[in-house]
Amino acid sequence: RKLVGLRAEGDAILEKAARERTELLREAAATREQLLREARRKADEEGERIVAAARAKAEAEREAILQDARHQVALLSIAVTEKILRAKLDDEQAQTRLAEAMLDEMERRKTQKEA
C-alpha cells in the first residue's frame, strides 16, 4: 500500500510538473510573440524615420542644386548681355544707329499721339 501511495504521489508530481511546463511554454510563446511585434513596430517606425530623413535631405540637396543653377544662369546671362552691349556700344556706327533708331521711335510715337 505504501508503494501504491508513493506511486500515486509520484504521478501527481509528474502531472503537476507537466502542467507547469505547459503553462511556462505558453507564457514564453506569448512573450516571444509580443517581443517580436514590438521589435517589428520599432523597426517599421525607424525605417519610416530614415526614409523621411533621406527624402528631406534629397529634396534639400535638389533645391540647393537648382538654386545654384539659377544663380549660374543669371550670371551667364548678365555676362553675355554685357558683352553684347559692350560690342555694340564700342562700335561708333552702331551707337549712332541705336541713337537714331531711338529718336525715330520717339518721333513716331509723338506723331501717333498727335494724330
- How do residues 6-58 score in pLDDT, each as one tens digit? 888 899 999 999 999 999 999 999 999 999 999 999 999 999 999 999 999 99
pLDDT at 108 over 80: yes
Task: Please compute Rg for the chain using Cα positions.
Answer: 45
- How do residues 35-49 score in pLDDT, each as one tens digit? 999 999 999 999 999
∠ CA 22-26-30, nearest 5°, is 170
Q: What's the whole-model pTM score?
A: 0.49
Give the contacts of 65 (CB within 8 A, at least 6 positions apart). none
Domain definitions of the chain by residue range: 2-114
